[in-house]
Structure 1
Amino acid sequence: MNILVLHGINLNMFGQRDPAQYGRATLAEIDTKLKALGSELGADVTSFQTNHEGEMVERIHQAFRDAVDAVIINAGAWTHYSYGIRDALAILKAPIIEVHMSNIHAREAFRHHSVFAEIAKGQIAGFGAESYLLGLRAAVSAVAAAKA
């Protein structure tokens, strides 16, 4: 099972950026935990981070060509306005799990809306770095259910 984790704009700053909102875990630490949990769950986890919207779209196109089994995405602020990333995600045949470290619904009003929500299997938000691990469990479950 191949699962792609996509980290969007500014997420390379985890551990340094607003620790009250995002915690102290770095992106490298999150990716390490995802790899370890993936191994336990029988999934190969690949992570990708970019601050460039076009690069994110290209990586999603590559995921389509590679026929990944699931995608976990925390697009950061792109979540709220990037129709380009949304349209790229819509090409995928695999389940999409949207994750956020903070509870986007308890923050500024502009963060309450996700342009990905309609095409995502589900959203997990507000559990810090654990949101990613919960997202990985949900992705593995969704893939297993689709194969059953």
Structure 2
Amino acid sequence: MKQIGILNGPNLNRLGKREPDIYGHATLDDLHAQLRKEATADGIELDCFQSNHEGELIDKLAAWADGGFVGAVINPGAFTHTSVALRDAIAGTGLRCVEVHISNIYRREEFRHKSLTAPVCEAVISGLGLHGYSAALAFLARE
């Protein structure tokens, strides 16, 4: 059975409460429940993880790589634009990663237009809302 991780960075634990005009009203638990249904239908084992702490995200990526996971859907949150350490962790795992952003980062503030992590991911999905996670999961499941 394929194993795929869902990694969410800072403030994504506040989905449904934080800026619902940008991020919607669904919670992170709602998202994870939907993704688990989709993964089960595709015969995938899913591990969902969120942290507001950079080191914990890096540790989880390493654990997934060492545990035989084939890929990860990653929403680094604000670390997208600031974290060389997270970028290096993604590059060093050998995992097939898809970066996801709920909002279209290119329609937002200028500082959000640059992703340090995107160049080490296979693909980037931005602006599809929570559907972006489903698209990324489907991509990883079928490759």
Normalization by structure 1: what TM-score? 0.93
1:61 CA drift (Å): 1.3
1:123 corresponds to 2:130? no
Give 5+ residue unaligned stretches, structure 2.
none
Normalization by structure 2: what TM-score? 0.96
1:94 CA drift (Å): 2.2
SS in 1 for 2:120: coil
1:141 CA drift (Å): 2.3
SS in 2 for 1:128: coil
Indicate if the aligned counterparts of 1:74 and 1:99 stay in contact, CA closer than 8 A: yes
Give 5+ residue unaligned stretches, structure 1.
143-148
- Percentage of matched positions with identical amino acids: 37
SS in 2 for 1:39: helix
Q: What is the identity, as a one-letter code, of the residue corresponding to 2:124? A: Q
SS in 2 for 1:99: strand
Name the structure 1 match of 2:12: 11
Name the structure 1 match of 2:77: 76
Name the structure 2 match of 1:139: 140
Indicate if the aligned counterparts of 1:15 and 1:25 stay in contact, CA closer than 8 A: yes
State the alpha-carbon separation in 2 of the partners of residues 6 and 94 from structure 1: 12
State the alpha-carbon separation in 2 of the partners of residues 15 and 70 from structure 1: 26
State the alpha-carbon separation in 2 of the partners of residues 49 and 127 from structure 1: 20
1:67 CA drift (Å): 2.1
State the alpha-carbon separation in 2 of the partners of residues 42 and 14 from structure 1: 27
